[in-house]
Amino acid sequence: MERRALGRRWAAWALQASLAACAPSQGFRPAGMLDAERPRELGVAFSSVEARPYVEETAQYLGQAWWTLRLDERWALTTLAAFDSSAAAAGAALRFEIASGQRAALAAEVEGGVAWAAVGVPATLRLWRGSALYTAPRLGTWGSDITPFVPLGVSASITRSLVLRAEAELSWADFRYYNRRLHWGFAIAHQW
């Protein structure tokens, strides 16, 4: 009898943890940045999600980590982890490179995990070797709300294998103007 009660408590805790789990705040993974010479990327990012303009609340500070493996010329698989001071979540993303050239790249991506899911269209414009502007508009969940996200980021190589990224993003939870949030953050990634 006591085992059953313990099992129920663990199940209730797991359900609460998955419902409270956070999703990655931002992408930080531009399209077309991995190639045959460097098919893997390991990264970590820290973000601030500012308070909504018409709501009295404080900013949220989040972190995320990822490991991406380019499977072949068009497909890449990513494992994701997101965390804040009260929750954590894990998931995966699958990306298909629609087009990739010397100056631009376009992809389609689906991601999902514990209590979150999203679809996106990453695009990259390479400025010069090792640097790029990128975006990855996506539609996904943020808490229990369906939310559009519109990011703009910059990626710059500081060594052959080390990349710094900065990204700003607007989101509108439940498509409501009063739920607009500004997300901004910085990332570092190692490619090999």
Instruction: Convert the pLDDT of each residue in 22-70 to its tens digit.
Output: 678 899 999 999 988 899 999 999 999 999 998 899 999 999 999 999 9
Confidence of residue 138 (pLDDT cuts 50, 70, 90): very high
Could you tell me the CA-to-CA distances from 147 to 23, 80, 95, 131 in Å, in that order? Answer: 12, 19, 20, 29
What CATH number is attached to the domain comprising 55?
Answer: 2.40.160.40
Confidence of residue 144 (pLDDT cuts 50, 70, 90): confident
Do the Cβ atoms of 155 and 163 come closer than 8 Å? yes
Distance CA 120, CA 19 (A): 23
For residue 158, give both structure tokens.
Answer: 């500081």
> For the chain, how many structural domains are there in total?
1
Q: What is the DSSP letter of 50?
A: P
Distance CA 65, CA 67 (A): 7
Q: What is the DSSP letter of 157?
A: E
* Residue numbers of the domain that contains 66: 2-191
Q: Residue 10: what pLDDT?
A: 53
